[in-house]
Amino acid sequence: MDGTPVGRRVFLGLLGAGAAGILWGSKAQRWLEQNVGPYLAKDGTGLSGLLPIGRFRIYSVTGSMPHRGHDEYRLHVSGLVDQPLTLTYREIRAMTPTGLTRDFQCVTGWRVFAVKWKGVRLGDVLDRAGVQAGAKALRFRSFDGTYTESLTLKQARRDDVLVAYELEGEQLSDAHGGPVRLYIAPMYGYKSIKWLDRIEVTDEVVPGYWEDRGYDVDAWIGRSNNRDDNAP
Amino acid sequence: MIPRFDRVERAAHWTTAALFGVLMLTGAVLYAGPFSAMFGRRELFRQVHVYAGILLPVPVLVGVAGRWGAQLRRDVGRINRWTRDDARWFRRRNRVRPGRVDVGKFNAGQKVNATFFAGAVVVMLATGLMLRWPNPFSNDLRTGATFVHDWFAFGIWIAVLGHIYFAIRDPIALGGMTRGSVTPYWARTERPAWYREVTQESQDLEEPAPR
């Protein structure tokens, strides 16, 4: 057959571009977020929100977006505690706030750089209820009716584990798990349960929604799900 | 009428097209916040997306593999080979009526389109598998795979919409992929080199064997 095999070269070139993107994509992503992100933030149409630059992907495991207004919201703390609690949104905001700025890392790979969170330490909420001797773990439930998560008591008492109510200086929206969610900075995103409804103090760890589907219960970023090279 | 794509090619094309449709729509639900919010049920959409993705290369590979794939293999060869006329075709203002450009079975635009899809399928499959089974890969590689999967998805949306647009604009060419044949007039004016090739072949066949 006559002609040059340009098709094959283009095909291999695409594969090369794909491989280069896998190797250096996280650097390119960071660059784009720093240099292009600020311009996209000024775009009023909202269309640029679809570009894969500095964006969260919205994960919801149920059929509809859960919604609860600030006035009707309640956080229940129960189980092995001295005094079961029912906190309103206002009561949570009245507690000592903590801010954190960290990269948000999904186990599947997407990452949003330098995300600003605000909330109260989970440990402070637990202290208010009074954890009883013999308690070892926490079980979290979402008011989406399906999602659950877990932490050991030791993990829950870290300073970088928040009951969060603000993201990037704004009240948490429904899509991001508002009014109140968990933010567990050292772990992959699936641990940070959205639409937090109930904290149950238990004597053993009960694996959560994605953990029943194969992900690790202890989800340290870079030190779980088969990785041990990147201790935080 | 002049036969253009045989049954194997058409079956491979339309099953691949159906899988692309499923992947693009479920992908949109998994990716775009407003759609994620509208439909939810992430686990279901994820499963459909993953299985459709794994099946994606199967129709073409089956079509190419067997005895039945002779014409498909030959057309892959045609798409691979570029001639001077392909470069000329790109420089033409009016690409539908190529005039002096001696276009074969595929014009240069079709070659670019098919080649892009071939590469994109491999890249999307590889990065998709990394996202679904991320355990062996470091966080930087996972982020890289997401980056590639996202941007190639944008390319694919543009290419698919363009492909459909050009198909609708040229119903006779589209008929080549639906009914399998095109009119001799279309072949002679828009794919002259291919027209000579096929009419030559049939003349050869019709010529009585010498005694």
- For A178-224, give the DSSP string: -S-EEEETTB-GGGS-SSEEEEEEESS----TTTTTT--SS-BTTSS
Closest approach of B211 to chain A, Cα-based (Å): 32
- Arithmetic mean of pLDDT over chain B: 88
As a whole number, mean pLDDT of residues B139-158 equals 90
According to the model, what pLDDT value does residue B94 have? Answer: 63
State whether residue B175 is helix, strand or coil: helix
Closest approach of A84 to chain B, Cα-based (Å): 32
Which pLDDT band holds residue B158 (cuts at 50, 70, 90)? very high
In terms of Cβ atoms closer than 10 Å to its own Cβ (0-12, 13-18, 19+), residue B136 is exposed
Contact check, Cβ <8 Å, A227/B79: no
Task: Put the strands of the sheet holding A137-142 in their side by side order.
Answer: A85-88, A74-79, A196-202, A137-142, A148-152
Q: Which of B41, B82, B114 is closest, CB to CB, to A3?
A: B82
- Locate A226 and state its tokens: 């088969």
B115 in contact with A at a CB cutoff of 8 Å?
Answer: yes
Q: Which residues are A170's β-sheet partners?
A: A167
The sign of the dihedral angle between the CA atoms of B109, B72, B8, B183 is: positive
d(CA B119, CA A18): 9
- Arithmetic mean of pLDDT over chain A: 86
Which pLDDT band holds residue A48 (cuts at 50, 70, 90)? low
In terms of Cβ atoms closer than 10 Å to its own Cβ (0-12, 13-18, 19+), residue A39 is exposed
Provide, as residue numbers in chain B, all residues whose Cβ is less than 8 Å from the Cβ of A65.
37-38, 40
Q: Which of B112, B140, B152 is closest, CB to CB, to A26?
A: B140
d(CA A60, CA B140): 25
- Locate B186 and state its tokens: 């279309």
Chain B residue with CA closest to A12: the answer is B119
Contact check, Cβ <8 Å, A2/B118: no
* pLDDT surpasses 60 at A77: yes
d(CA B202, CA B108): 26
Contact check, Cβ <8 Å, A63/B41: yes
Provide, as residue numbers in chain A, all residues whose Cβ is less than 8 Å from the Cβ of B127.
18, 22
Amino acid at the residue A207 = P
* pLDDT surpasses 80 at A145: yes
* pLDDT surpasses 60 at B16: yes
* pLDDT surpasses 50 at A16: yes
Amino acid at the residue A29 = Q
Cα–Cα–Cα angle for B20, B69, B126, rounded to 5 degrees: 40
Among residues B203, B45, B208, the alpha carbon closest in space to that of B132 is found at B45
Best mutation site among A8, A10, A22 for testing chain B: the one with the most B CBs within 10 Å?
Answer: A22
Query: Which runs of consecutive H residues, i.e. helices, occur in chain A?
Result: 6-35, 37-41, 89-94, 122-129, 153-156
d(CA A119, CA A123): 12
As a whole number, mean pLDDT of residues B2-26 equals 95
B57 in contact with A at a CB cutoff of 8 Å?
Answer: no
Phi, psi of B109 (to 5 degrees): -65, -40
- Give the range with max mean pLDDT: B44-53, B127-136, B199-208: B44-53
Provide, as residue numbers in chain A, all residues whose Cβ is less than 8 Å from the Cβ of B138.
222, 227, 229-230
* pLDDT surpasses 60 at B207: no
* pLDDT surpasses 90 at B120: yes
As a whole number, mean pLDDT of residues B82-86 equals 87
As a whole number, mean pLDDT of residues A183-195 equals 93
* pLDDT surpasses 60 at A228: no
d(CA B65, CA B18): 21
Q: Which of B78, B83, B134 is closest, CB to CB, to A109?
A: B134
Best mutation site among A27, A31, A108 for testing chain B: the one with the most B CBs within 10 Å?
Answer: A108
Contact check, Cβ <8 Å, B145/A24: no
Contact check, Cβ <8 Å, A13/B78: no
More confident residue, A59 or A185: A185
Q: Which of A3, A21, A51 is closest, CB to CB, to B144?
A: A21
Closest approach of A45 to chain B, Cα-based (Å): 14
Q: Which of B33, B114, B120 is closest, CB to CB, to A58?
A: B33
Which pLDDT band holds residue A161 (cuts at 50, 70, 90)? very high
Q: Which residues are A86's β-sheet partners?
A: A76
According to the model, what pLDDT value does residue B79 have? Answer: 93
According to the model, what pLDDT value does residue B56 have? Answer: 96
Amino acid at the residue B198 = V
d(CA A135, CA A133): 6
- Locate A189 and state its tokens: 């995103």
- Locate A217 and state its tokens: 């219960």
* pLDDT surpasses 80 at A32: no
Q: Output Rg (C-alpha) for chain B, integer angstroms.
A: 20
* pLDDT surpasses 80 at B86: yes
According to the model, what pLDDT value does residue B36 have? Answer: 74
* pLDDT surpasses 60 at B206: no
Provide, as residue numbers in chain B, all residues whose Cβ is less than 8 Å from the Cβ of A52.
146-147, 150-151, 154
* pLDDT surpasses 50 at A131: yes
Contact check, Cβ <8 Å, B134/A110: no
Residue B179 neighbours by CB under 8 Å, 6+ apart: none
Amino acid at the residue B73 = R
d(CA B126, CA B145): 9
More confident residue, A35 or A183: A183
According to the model, what pLDDT value does residue A55 have? Answer: 62
d(CA A71, CA A91): 11
Contact check, Cβ <8 Å, B82/A5: yes
Among residues A76, A187, A186, A92, the alpha carbon closest in space to that of A138 is found at A76
B122 in contact with A at a CB cutoff of 8 Å?
Answer: yes
- Locate A115 and state its tokens: 């995300």
* pLDDT surpasses 50 at A231: no
Contact check, Cβ <8 Å, B135/A226: yes
Contact check, Cβ <8 Å, A52/B146: yes
For chains A and B, count residue pairs whose Cβ atoms are closer than 8 Å. Answer: 163
More confident residue, A14 or B91: A14
As a whole number, mean pLDDT of residues A212-216 equals 85
As a whole number, mean pLDDT of residues A144-173 equals 92
d(CA B210, CA A155): 91
Least confident stretch, A86-95, A173-182, B92-101, B131-140: B92-101
